[in-house]
Amino acid sequence: MSEVNAEWLLETWAPALRSGEFHQTTNTLRLGDEYCCLGVACELRRREGALPDWEAITEPLGRSERFVGVKMISGMSKDLPSDVSAFLGCNPVGRFGRQFLAYDSAAEANDEGCSFPQIADELERIARAELTRRAAAEAAS
């Protein structure tokens, strides 16, 4: 895992989760106009030009197909694409090397019912801890 991108968590991702622009879903990055917290990060990176557009996922339903969600072309439907997890400094399910609220990862917190504002609070705690760690390391050198 790479270093946590504390600035982006504080300045971009956490505010987007609080903005009211994104509606929450579970168990997938995006379903229609709803996103899990990791899907919001993907959408923000897409808007920044760092990711391609979303790709529809369908499954057979008799002679037709049923829409079941969307994924990033570069990643799976539930996990972060590797370039996004590297950018954020977490693993593909949003684990930042420590417990996330009472869960193992941001994905699990989202899927177990934590709200976007609660997740944003935790992202800010993680980011502030990273900034404190960096400052201490710099002061020690």
- What's the rounded Cα separation, in Å, for the pair 6 and 97? 14
List, in sequence order, the alpha helices (H) in 1-141. Answer: 6-8, 14-18, 37-47, 82-88, 106-111, 116-140
Q: What is the mean pLDDT of the chain?
A: 87
Nearest Cα to Cα of residue 73 among 107, 40, 46, 91 = 46
* Res 18 pLDDT > 90: yes
User: Can you give the pTM of this predicted structure?
Assistant: 0.87
Nearest Cα to Cα of residue 23 among 35, 37, 9 = 35
Domain residue spans of the chain: 6-133
Go through the chain and tell me how many residues it has: 141
Average pLDDT for 16-29:
95
pLDDT band at 95 (very low <50, low <70, confident <90, very high): very high
More confident residue, 33 or 70: 33
119-138: per-residue pLDDT in tens? 999 999 999 999 999 999 99
